[in-house]
């Protein structure tokens, strides 16, 4: 399981990258858009890791067991 310091550091880096990407590529440039992207990138990883810790997810890649695409032919 990742430590909280690693999670926070990764979230901070994500926020910086998100702000930079939005600031460079989104036109017209608005501070509110840049701040929203940075806040989302900053708050998302700790929130997801808090959920994983609460439900006992011990793996790095731990998601809900949902089949996105089912295998096999469709029968009508």
Question: What is the structure's pLDDT at 63?
Answer: 58
Among 2, 3, 1, 33, which Cα is nearest to 18's?
A: 33
| pLDDT tens-digit map of 1-48 | 778 899 899 999 999 999 999 999 999 999 999 999 999 999 999 998
Question: What is the structure's pLDDT at 25?
Answer: 96
For the segment 46-70, the average pLDDT, to the nearest whole number, is 71
Vertex 39: Cα angle to 15 and 47 (nearest 5):
95
Among 23, 63, 55, which Cα is nearest to 41's?
A: 23
CB atoms within 10 A of CB 7: 17
């Amino acid at each position: 399981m990742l430590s909280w310091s690693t999670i926070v550091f990764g979230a901070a880096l994500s926020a910086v990258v998100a702000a930079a990407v939005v600031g460079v590529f989104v036109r017209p440039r608005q501070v509110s858009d840049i701040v929203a992207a940075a806040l989302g990138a900053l708050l998302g990883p700790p929130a997801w890791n808090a959920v994983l810790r609460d439900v006992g997810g011990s793996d790095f890649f731990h998601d809900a067991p949902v089949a996105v695409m089912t295998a096999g032919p469709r029968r009508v």
